[in-house]
């Protein structure tokens, strides 16, 4: 298979993968991995181009990565979800945990496609039942995150999803909450990573994957 024929093949692969969840084909990493690279990089390029930089939001000095243009484009939104799904392939996953609020957009779609449960981690005061709490520092402030105490069953295998990894404070708090309620955090996945902030260090030793790096 050459790279020009690959996008069509990829669409067919995804169609089968979506339509028959019980009998999903596996990607093999032999000759296909050679063809996968150009296709993936074209998609990543389009996704990256759709992320809008908004300087000085929500305060001076922060360049906010606005994903709303990506979300409003049906192809790009689907492509972004497919990146997470591809990364989840082959893993035994019980729950997707998404971080308030943009982590819900990606995490819930991923959970839906995988056929697993979704758990929200929310900013303080938003969850109605008993919660565990974790404090964290943002790139632009201080806050607390909460998770329902019964959101996970002991030892459930969890993937953490958010739109963006900056300093890592938010996702480190989320990881702490997952551990507090008894979950096993397999990996943290982000659409975007601000690599210069080295946030992944905060999640150590949890494996971290991001798709668009700045
Ligand atoms: P941090 O705790 O510093 O890793 O911040 C990550 C969280 O804050 C994520 O939930 C992001 O949605 C949000 N965030 C932090 N910095 C930015 C940014 N520059 N652009 C967009 N969202 C951001």
Atom number, ligand 1, closest to the C-alpha of residue 162:
10
Q: pLDDT value at position 184? A: 98
What is the pLDDT at residue 142? Answer: 82
Inside any domain, residue 30: no
- Can you give the CATH number for the domain in which 79 is found? 3.40.50.2020
37 assigned to some structural domain: no
Q: What angle do CA 76, 78, 84 make, to 5 degrees?
A: 105
Rounded distance, CA 82 to CA 153, Å? 27
Q: 195: which 2 tokens?
A: 């690599």
49 lies in some domain: no
Residue 137 confidence (pLDDT)? 81
Domain of 151?
A: 74-213
Note the pLDDT of residue 39.
56
Report which ligand 1 atom has the smallest distance to the Cα of 100: 10
Lining ligand 1 with CB less than 6 A are: 62-65, 99, 102, 138-139, 162-171, 199
Please state, in angstroms and rounded to a whole number, the distance separating the CA atoms of residues 158 and 178. Answer: 8
Atom of ligand 1 nearest to the CA of 103: 10
Residue 165 Cα to ligand 1 middle (Å) = 6
Q: Which of 166, 167, 193 to mutate to test the pocket of ligand 1 (most atoms within 8 A of CB)?
A: 166
Enzyme catalytic residues: 102, 139
In a domain, 100, yes or no: yes
Q: Which long-range contacts (CB under 8 A, 24 or more apart) does 115-120 make?
A: 115/21, 119/95, 119/147, 119/148, 119/151, 119/152, 119/158, 120/147
Q: How far is the CA of 53 from the centre of ligand 1 (A)?
A: 13
Q: pLDDT by residue (tens digit) across 92-127?
A: 999 999 999 999 999 999 999 999 999 999 999 999
Q: Give the residue carrying structure tokens 């063809």.
A: 35
CA atoms within 13 A on the CB side of 12: 5
Q: What is the Å distance from ligand 1's center to 142 Cα?
A: 12
Q: Which atom of ligand 1 is nearest to the CA of 137?
A: 2
37: enclosing H helix or E strand? helix 31-50
In a domain, 195, yes or no: yes
- Please tell me the residue having the least CA distance from ligand 1 atom 18: 64
How many domains does the chain divide into? 1
Ligand 1 pocket, mutate which of 106, 138, 172 (most atoms under 8 A from CB): 138
Evaluate whether residue 17 is within a structural domain.
Answer: no
Distance, CA 130 to ligand 1 centroid (Å)? 26
Q: How far apart are CA 211 and CA 214, in angstroms?
A: 10
Residue at 149 is within a domain: yes
Which of the residues in the chain have pLDDT under 50?
1-7, 21-22, 25-36
Interval between CA 161 and ligand 1 midpoint (Å): 13
Residue 156 lies in a domain: yes
């Amino acid at each position: 298979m050459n790279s020009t024929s690959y996008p069509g093949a990829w669409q067919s692969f995804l169609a089968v993968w979506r339509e028959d969840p019980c009998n999903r084909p596996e990607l093999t990493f032999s000759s296909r991995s050679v063809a996968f690279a150009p296709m993936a990089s074209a998609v990543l390029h389009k996704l990256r181009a759709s992320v809008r930089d908004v300087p000085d939001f929500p305060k001076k000095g922060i360049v906010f990565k606005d994903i709303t243009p990506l979300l409003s484009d049906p192809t790009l939104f689907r492509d972004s979800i497919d990146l997470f799904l591809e990364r989840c392939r082959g893993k035994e996953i019980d729950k997707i945990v998404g971080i308030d609020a943009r982590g819900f957009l990606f995490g819930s779609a991923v959970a839906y496609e995988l056929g697993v449960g979704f758990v929200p981690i929310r900013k303080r005061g938003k969850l109605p039942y008993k919660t565990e709490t974790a404090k964290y520092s943002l790139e632009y402030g201080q806050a607390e995150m909460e998770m329902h105490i019964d959101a996970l069953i002991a030892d459930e295998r969890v993937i953490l999803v958010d739109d963006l990894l900056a300093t890592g404070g938010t996702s480190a708090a989320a990881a702490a909450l997952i551990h507090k309620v008894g979950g096993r955090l397999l990996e943290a996945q982000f659409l975007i990573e601000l690599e210069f902030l080295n946030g992944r260090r905060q999640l150590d030793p949890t494996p971290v994957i991001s798709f668009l790096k700045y």
